[in-house]
Amino acid sequence: MIIQVITLSWSKVVRGAPFSTLRNRYNYSFPLLDLMLTKDSRIPIQEINLTQNTNGIEVKSNRVNYIDSDQIIWMIGCIEIEKIDDTLIVQFKYSDICGKPKRFDSRYNYMTEKAFELQRNEYGRISYNGRHVRSTGEWIYQNQTINIYNTLAKDKGIFTKVKPMKEYKQMAVLF
Examine the pLDDT at 175 and tell me if it is beyond 70: no
The amino acid at 101: P
Q: Which residue has the higher pLDDT, 40 or 11?
A: 11
- DSSP 8-state assignment for residue 108: S
How confident is the model over 88-116, as pLDDT tens digits?
A: 999 999 999 999 999 999 999 999 999 99
d(CA 156, CA 30): 9
d(CA 46, CA 5): 6
Q: Are 78 and 68 in contact (CB under 8 A)?
A: no
pLDDT value for 68? 87
CA distances from 2 to 40, 112, 142, 170 (A): 12, 23, 22, 22
How confident is the model over 118-156, as pLDDT tens digits?
A: 999 999 999 999 999 888 888 999 999 999 999 877 788
pLDDT value for 127? 95
pLDDT value for 152? 79
pLDDT value for 20? 85
How confident is the model over 40-90, as pLDDT tens digits?
A: 778 889 999 999 999 999 999 999 998 888 889 999 999 999 999 999 999
Q: Which of 93, 140, 142, 139 is nearest to 115 (CA)?
A: 93
pLDDT value for 22? 86
Domain ranges within the chain, ordered by starting residue: 2-70+94-100+118-170
pLDDT value for 125? 97
pLDDT value for 158? 87
pLDDT value for 42? 84
Q: Which residue has the higher pLDDT, 81 or 24?
A: 81
